[in-house]
Amino acid sequence: MNDIKHHLSDQLLLGYSAGALPEAFNLIVATHLEMCDECRAASHAFDSVGGVLLDDLAKAEMSNDALSRTLDLVANTRQIHKTEVGSEIPNPLAAYVGSSLADIKWRPIGMGVRQVVLKTSKSATARLLYIPAGSVVPDHGHRGTELTLVLKGAFSDETARFAVGDVEMADQNLEHTPMADINEDCICLTATDAPLRFNSWFPRLAQRFLKI
Amino acid sequence: MYKNLERYEEPGASSVLLTYADVRELLRFNQKATPPAVKKTKPLKNWVTQLQQVQQSQDQTAFEELFNYFAPRVKSFLIRSGASTSTAEECAQEVMVAVWNKAHLFDPSRASVSTWIFTIARNKNIDALRKQRRPEPENLTWGPECEPEATDILTLQQETEQLRLAMSTLPDQQKALLQKAYFGDLSHSEIAAETGLPLGTIKSRLRLALNKLRQTMK
């Protein structure tokens, strides 16, 4: 996909290579890497930093029988060759939601917008958002970082337009009202490391029940 | 969005080690002058031959060499990340089992052996010690009909060596910070806070090396 305009920041790529991100953020990064050759190359470069650091580490001696035990383990494990099937959902995400958009169990969160919260570690939350063509996600700000990756369709907010493969990174300084393109429903994967902050009482109330 | 991204990456607000802006600046610098000579150190053995022998003929002697070099370093990495000695020992063995089992996926035109093993150890660390899943993009494997070109392998391995040289010129404080980010369980927000060093203090040679690696891997 060559027309991706909004990429991952170096900070996220470094955090992903170092293994320092919460699972929900890892999921967004991995899904974007599946779609974006440029960021994938950058990610490999950051992995290389880890390789060099590994070379420089002082050795921690292994036990005397470590090699023979390892070879025993090799003999006892069978290689697993995964066969990936073509899917409309990128592989890293398919592990969480299955391989078909049609099978997703959406829950309405108001104004036509639907979501499903994915099961990840607690330090951040990942969810899929379904925004019908022309609809808006209620005006909201963020207490932490919010990443949004477009999987289908496109949306625009006060800052720019985001189409398939694009990532928007929003922090506490951004209050925005994302709106899906008029001609196509939009599906996004989002990750937040703190609850969203809605600017009217109704979504704020709903927030307490809907985990957003 | 970009306006917002720049604000996010502004030093002081939330800094990163390396940014695209650095790379652009570096390219300009590079057109003007050749960088000063780097202190010569002996290149490290790159282990590609040994891993290919495991890959192609399940060669146990080659595996033993890899094991003797990498297992103690992987164990050391896991201990630094907070594992007990016995857990680290066990996980290091499992990492080496994965090295054997996944040898067919190793592509020397895309990663050095150290980088590849680092990624396996990192994932084991997240998976076994932090009990999290680690989503990963699908491996881009080459079919048997398109083996990586020898020149591509050489280029990648040389550029990784350049990165190593560049990293050896970093001041101790910055090296320690990188080690902490990669091995010390420095969280995402801490990376933002702790790397709030003036970007200019990160050696441009490291940025150059990383940028070249990026280009190569495209």
- Please, what is the end-to-end C-alpha distance for chain B in angstroms? 25
CA A133 to chain centre: 22
Assign residue A118 the CATH number of its domain. 2.60.120.10
B64-67, long-range: CB < 8 A, 24+ apart = B64/A67, B66/B96, B66/B99, B66/B113, B67/A66, B67/A67, B67/A70, B67/B96
Q: Is B37 exposed, middle or buried (0-12, 13-18, 19+ CB in 10 A)?
A: exposed
Going by pLDDT thresholds of 50, 70 and 90, the confidence category of residue B14 is: very low
Model ipTM over 0.95: no
User: Token pair of A37, please?
Assistant: 């050759």
Q: Note the pTM of the prediction, 2 decimals.
A: 0.80
Least confident of B65-69, B154-158, B194-198: B194-198
| Chain A residue with Cα closest to B121 | A54
Other C-beta atoms within 10 Å of A57: how many? 18
* Count of residues making up chain A: 212
Question: CB distance from B176 to chain A under 8 Å?
Answer: no
CB A179 within 8 A of CB A134: yes
pLDDT digits over A66-93, tens only? 999 999 999 887 665 554 555 678 889 9
CB B111 within 8 A of CB B156: yes
C-beta atoms of B114 and A51 within 8 A: yes
Domain ranges of chain B: 13-38+169-217, 48-135
Domain that holds residue A62: 1-212
- Given a cut of 60, whether residue B15 has pLDDT beyond it is no
pLDDT digits over A134-188, tens only? 999 877 767 788 899 999 999 999 899 999 999 999 887 888 889 999 999 999 9
CATH topology of domain B48-135: Rna Polymerase Sigma Factor; Chain: A (1.10.1740)
| Contacts (Cβ under 8 Å, ≥6 apart) of B64 | A67
C-beta atoms of A160 and B96 within 8 A: no
Distance set, CA B67 to CA A45, A72, B97, B163, B218 (Å): 24, 14, 10, 24, 31
- What's the domain count of chain A? 1
CB-nearest to B182 from A53, A74, A96 is A53
pLDDT digits over A98-133, tens only? 888 888 999 998 888 999 999 888 888 999 999 999
